[in-house]
Chains A and B, each alone.
Chain A
Amino acid sequence: MNLDLVATGTAAAVVAAATLRAATPILFASLGGLISELAGCINVALEGVMLVAAFAGVITSAYSTLWFPDAPLWLHPWLGCAAGLLAGTALAGLLAVFHLELGADLIVAGIGLNILAQGLTVLLMAHLTGDKGSTASLASFALPSLRWPGIGAVPVLGVLLNGDEDTGHNVLVYVAMAATGLIAWALRHTVFGLRLRATGENAEAALAAGLPVRRLRYAGLLLSGLLASGGGVFLGMGYLTLFQADMAAGRGYLALAAVFLGGRRPLGTVVAALVFGAASVTAARLGQLAVPAEVVFMIPPLVTIAALVLVKQHQRLATRRRAAAGRAALLSP
């Protein structure tokens, strides 16, 4: 094989592996956003859910060594992971109760919960560790990475599958991919998926058809909490191994944008999340090429705007085509 080709391929694989890493938290959260959006309950609290999940995961994994000193080492990160998923889902459950039981506006309650999550995590962190910035003083754990044995030496593919340091991708990266497939399938091919979508499309009709709309919406919001928690746990126990105040850094909102950018469809959402991940990775690498920082930071928002325009344009064309086809069908004898 041509040496240049291998070098280029390896460089591309490094970027692809980094994109996967950077996109995973957004991917998790956007899948969550998609499910609740399809159930007719937009979940604005994704950002807060991620923060709470990351916090609970990191803190639990660190404290678990104190609580269970005799437990094997591999157990601590998984305990943290469970706690993170639980805490994030609980926050989404809170949103569901506010909206479905108490009639609170989803957007207002969601933003409220985001602010609550921001403050609460810092408050608890200050209380537990005496530190308001990060949990650097705690020895917390990361979830394991999965490394494909025996392909480290294979050019390009080795880097792609095992990352640039040959340590493998975090297990949650694979979970995110699996979740994507599972959700795309479930939404399309299961009764639950159909009912969930029906609830979102037209709640009254669904109710008239005898669907338990409220219960389905609970399911949608709780599932969205669970998925977004996966993103939070990955941030604190995979991507990094610490909790930092406000570490979600807008990824929850980006995820929400990815849902709409993807046309509220699973595949589109995944592509949008990957685009966001790629945009941030590109931003992280372009600076090396003496591109001014200001230009670099314009890339993610520019990509978003460009993609939104393109999607809108595409939809308009599709509508026009459908209308034209409809007219043609009407006019034909």
Chain B
Amino acid sequence: MRGQPLALVLMVMVMAVLTPAGAGARAADGRPQRVAFFVNGALGDKSFFDSAARGLRQAKADLHLATRTIEGGYDPTRWESGLVDLADSGDFPIIVTGTYTMGPLVQKVAPDYPDVTFILFDGVVDYAHCACHNVYSMRFRQNEGGYLAGVLAAGLMRTGAIPGAAPGLVGLVGAMPIPVINDFAAGYVAGAQDAAPGITVLRQFANSFSDPAMGKEIAKAQYGQGAGVIFQVAGATGQGVIEAAEETGRYVIGVDSDQAALYRVSSPRRAARILTSVMKNVDTAILRALRLWQQGRLPLGRTESLGLKEGAIGLADNPDAALTVPPAVRAAVAAARQRIIDGTLTVPTAFAGGRP
């Protein structure tokens, strides 16, 4: 996340000059091909965008692409023009961007720039209603990760291993009731119900991705009611949930990136409260897409759905909390994971019409 744009531009320029001949994909003039990553927000969210940026960095190292990250900020009115500027500049044969909100914008812009390839992660365009032959979109089955989190949380509650917590209660703190977060939640509720039928899932949204104080207030309310584990799907707001877990001596499940790793050095006590994180491996998914593109095998004009089976969703391993989770609960999570991968278990989703 040392994403100072200037440094990045410089690095891109240096890369362009120094990359040894014969490495990776090149344009006709022998220079590495340029990839733009448009962030509709800012890096440093400790989860989603940072993971994507990791993927881009990996792509730069492994695939010898010249990458450039453009942070569009949190003002939605600037996103479309930012995207158009990138496509119109002609500097980038391929543009990577993500999130559900960017879907309609890509759908609007892509047909005007047929020579530019768009990779849209965690969002979709409506291929039936646009000439988007140049768009590859990938969707994540985050409900599968949410399901495992639910099995873990409810399983742990059932063992009664958490002092002071009510056995029939787990919590969920979301940032906003948008489809992706609802999808996490749908899986979580289903997983909790399957692991402990009749369990109550407290659910509350903070209405912000960047208000940790609100996140903490909500988490305290849920822990106060007796929830032993809270699954937070709230971006930076979730850091408040993690603080509340530390203060109340209860547990939290992180999201998108391995959030325990963040605190392992600065605050081991806090890290020990994070049972695991539902990883949305945006980084590996983007790397994979760029590799396919380089090989000319990227399935343009369609949506791919990525989940546990593809390794795009998974649970992080937090050694600090390992002792907290009894082997039986661990086994239940592993079994659920296997059943989802085998296809014998279908996790409910919040998206209309299910999965592609």
Contacts and interface: CB of A to CB of B under 8 A. Distances in A.
B2 A285 contact: no
A25 B214 CA distance: 12
A18 B267 CA distance: 25
Contacts of B210: 244-247, 249
Contacts of A136: 46, 239, 262-263, 266
B267 A139 contact: yes
B159 interface: no
A21 B221 CA distance: 13
B243 A240 contact: yes
A285 B221 contact: yes
A249 B211 CA distance: 6
A139 B216 CA distance: 18
Contacts of A246: 210
A204 to B, nearest CB: 41
A134 B214 contact: no
A244 B242 CA distance: 14
A137 B207 contact: no
A50 to B, nearest CB: 11
Q: Bin chain A's interface residue count.
A: 35 or more
B1 A132 contact: yes
A247 B2 CA distance: 21
Contacts of A281: 217
Contacts of B267: 139
B122 to A, nearest CB: 18
Interface string B217-234: 110111011000000000
Interface string B235-258: 010011001000110000000000
Contacts of A122: 42, 44
Contacts of A61: none
A57 to B, nearest CB: 15
Contacts of A240: 212-213, 216, 239-240, 243
A126 B2 contact: yes
A244 B235 CA distance: 11
A134 B177 CA distance: 23
11 contacts: A18-B220, A122-B44, A130-B1, A133-B1, A165-B248, A239-B213, A244-B239, A249-B208, A249-B214, A287-B205, A293-B205
Given A240-B216, A296-B205, 13 more contacts: A131-B1, A132-B3, A132-B43, A133-B1, A133-B42, A165-B248, A167-B247, A242-B212, A247-B212, A249-B214, A288-B204, A294-B177, A297-B205
Interface of A: 14, 18, 21-22, 25, 122, 126, 130-134, 136-139, 164-165, 167, 235, 239-242, 244-247, 249, 280-281, 283-285, 287-288, 293-294, 296-297
9 tightest A-B CB contacts, nearest first: A132-B44, A133-B44, A287-B204, A249-B211, A284-B217, A293-B205, A284-B218, A139-B266, A285-B221
